[in-house]
């Protein structure tokens, strides 16, 4: 059973906390911006992601104050100067990022408050965070206002005009190593997640898999074989031919033994063998 919540019947705070608790993990944009008067601002935003590669677009959403309905300094600055930088956050700077989230006056430099160093951008005026291993210089592409009410979002879309990536996180093919990037993401409440501690690799099938609808119901209904394991079984291009030797070896095993064998072969990516076990189970 699922409990239902109608956002139209909830207050702003409840809707917000439901969103940040369930839409996880969220990458963190450490955004640097500058006003027309030259005042710098540095603030983290976790309503943030990429939105296209041609042109390369990133977006984040500074919400209006839930109490006053007034805009954040970041939004005001970007409206004025149409430039910003985004520095990706790693585990070595997460405490400083949290400190920079405090609501300082517009003339206060959060770089100084948070104890992070400025590095000069090549194209845009706002500097970026020197300690960050992955940085994007951005020009404003568009701003989409999402309500103009207290706690309403303002989707700021920026075109990336320059990347700055630490050589220490690049492999020999100039691709970012996710373990070395060590990115931090936001969860609900005061919780964060360290991405490298939960990394796993799952490659997309090289062809259209035969799908769950090609798996016999007796296997689909198994209490031992998980949905993730079934998805691997369903990823083959065609159902493999039966291995007669394997069939003869295991055909007298019990259903539970066969299901465990199937799990084992799926886990070792021996899908030909796993499908032979499926053939035996079908006949039970």
State whether CATH 2.30.110.10 applies to domain 7-198: yes
Euclidean distance between CA atoms 274 and 160, whole angstroms: 46
DSSP β-bridge partners for residue 139:
83, 159
Q: Where are the domains of the chain?
A: 7-198, 212-282
The pLDDT value recorded for residue 66 is 86
pLDDT, tens digit, 9 for 90 and up, residues 26-71? 999 999 999 999 999 999 999 999 999 999 999 999 999 888 889 9
171, two tokens: 């492999």
Which pTM value belongs to this model?
0.82
C-alpha–C-alpha distance, residues 100 and 29, integer Å: 12
What phi and psi, each to the nearest 5 degrees, are found at residue 116?
-110, 155
**Two tokens, residue 9:** 């019947």
pLDDT tens digits for range 149-203: 999 999 999 999 999 999 999 999 999 999 999 999 999 988 899 988 887 777 7
Is residue 207's pLDDT more than 90? no
Instruction: Please give the pLDDT value at position 106.
Output: 84
pLDDT, tens digit, 9 for 90 and up, residues 118-127: 999 999 999 9
């Amino acid at each position: 059973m699922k409990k239902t919540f109608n956002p139209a019947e909830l207050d702003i705070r409840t809707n917000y906390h439901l969103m940040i608790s369930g839409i996880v993990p969220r990458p963190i944009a450490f955004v640097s911006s500058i006003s027309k008067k030259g005042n710098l601002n540095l603030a983290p935003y976790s309503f943030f992601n990429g939105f296209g590669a041609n042109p390369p677009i990133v977006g984040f959403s500074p919400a209006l104050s839930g109490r006053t309905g007034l805009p954040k300094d970041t939004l005001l600055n970007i409206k004025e100067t149409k430039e910003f930088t985004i520095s990706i956050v790693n585990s070595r700077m997460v405490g400083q990022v949290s400190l920079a989230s405090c609501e300082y006056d517009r003339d206060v430099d959060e770089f100084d408050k948070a104890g992070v160093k400025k590095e000069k951008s090549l194209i845009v005026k706002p500097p970026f965070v020197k300690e960050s291993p992955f940085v994007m210089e951005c020009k404003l592409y568009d701003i989409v206002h999402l309500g103009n009410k207290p706690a309403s979002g303002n989707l700021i879309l920026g075109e990336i005009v320059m990347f700055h990536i630490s050589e220490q996180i690049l492999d020999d093919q100039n691709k970012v190593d996710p373990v070395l990037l060590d990115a931090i993401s936001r969860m609900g409440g005061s919780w964060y997640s360290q991405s490298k501690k939960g990394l796993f690799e799952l490659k997309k099938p090289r062809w259209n898999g035969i799908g769950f609808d090609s798996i016999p119901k007796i296997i689909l209904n198994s209490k031992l074989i998980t949905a993730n394991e079934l998805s691997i079984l369903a990823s083959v291009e065609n159902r493999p031919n039966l291995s007669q030797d394997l069939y003869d070896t295991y055909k007298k095993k019990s259903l539970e033994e066969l299901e465990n064998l199937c799990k084992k072969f799926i886990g070792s990516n021996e899908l030909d063998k796993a499908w032979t076990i499926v053939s035996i189970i079908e006949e039970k």
